[in-house]
Chains A and B, each alone.
Chain A
Amino acid sequence: MQAIAHRRELKQRLKRNKWLYVMILPGIVYFLIFKYAPMYGLIISFQDFKPYTGIAHSDWVGLEHFKRLFTEPDFWRILSNTLILFAMNLAFFFPVPIILAMMLNEVRLSAFKRTIQTIVYIPHFMSWVIIVSIGYVMLTMDGGIINELLVYFGHEPINFLLNSHWFRPMYIYQVIWREAGWGTIIYLAAIASIDPQLYEAARMDGAGRFRQIWHITLPALRSVIIVLLILKIGDVLELGFEHVYLLLNSMNRDVAEIIDTYVYTAALKQGQFSYSAAIGFFKSVIGLVLVIAANKLAKKMGEEGVY
Chain B
Amino acid sequence: MVEDRSFGGRLFSIVNYALLGIIALVSFLPFVHVIAGSFTTGAELAVKKFVLIPTVWSFDAYRFIFSTNAIFRAMLVSVLVTLIGTAFSMLISSMMAYGLARRDLDGRRFIMFAVVFTMLFNGGLIPTFLVVKELGLVDQYAALVLPIAVNAFNMIILKNFFQNIPDGLEESAKIDGCSDWGILFRIVLPLSLPALATISLFYAVTYWNTYLNAILYLDSSSKWPIQVLLRQIVVLASGFEFGSSLDNEVPPPDQSVKMAVIVVATVPILLVYPFLQKHFAKGALLGSIKG
Contacts and interface: CB of A to CB of B under 8 A. Distances in A.
A31 B118 contact: yes
5 contacts: A13-B106, A27-B155, A42-B123, A148-B49, A267-B129
Contacts of B21: 116
B124 A284 contact: yes
Contacts of A284: 121-124
A60 interface: no
Interface in A183-232: 185-186, 188-190, 192, 196, 199-200, 203, 208-210, 227-228, 231
Interface stretch (B59-67, B96-104, B189-197): B96-104
A227 B283 CA distance: 16
A119 B26 CA distance: 10
B150 interface: yes
Contact of B269 (A39, A126, A231): A126
Contact of A143 (B2, B45, B128, B149): B45
A38 B98 contact: no
A177 B26 CA distance: 9
Interface string B99-134: 110101110000100111010111111111111010
A190 B286 contact: yes
Contact of B28 (A122, A227, A249, A288): A122
Contacts of A192: 283
A38 B130 CA distance: 8
Given A137-B37, A283-B124, A208 B277 contact: no
Interface string A142-162: 111100110010000000011
Contacts of A199: 1
Nearest to A305: B290
B259 interface: yes
Nearest to A14: B106
Contact of B93 (A27, A120, A200, A210): A27
Given A145-B33, A276-B125, A283-B124, 16 more contacts: A31-B114, A31-B152, A33-B131, A36-B118, A37-B131, A40-B123, A108-B3, A122-B28, A125-B273, A126-B269, A127-B208, A137-B262, A208-B12, A227-B289, A249-B241, A273-B130
A75 interface: no
B165 interface: no
Interface of B: 1-4, 6, 8-9, 12-13, 16-17, 19-21, 23-24, 27-28, 30-31, 33-34, 37, 45-46, 49-50, 92-93, 95-96, 98-100, 102, 104-106, 111, 114-116, 118, 120-131, 133, 135, 146-150, 152, 155, 179-181, 184, 205, 208-212, 216, 227-228, 230-231, 234-235, 238-241, 254-255, 258-259, 261-262, 265-266, 269-270, 273, 276-277, 280-281, 283, 285-286, 289-291
A73 to B, nearest CB: 22
A128 B127 contact: no
Contacts of A268: 129, 216
A177 B100 CA distance: 36
Contacts of A30: 92, 146, 149-150
A103 B127 contact: no
A271 B108 CA distance: 40
Contacts of B230: 129-130, 133
Nearest to A115: B24
A24 B96 contact: yes
A209 B4 contact: yes
A116 B49 contact: no
B16 A26 contact: no
Nearest to B48: A148
A258 to B, nearest CB: 12
Given A24-B96, A137-B258, A116 B121 contact: no
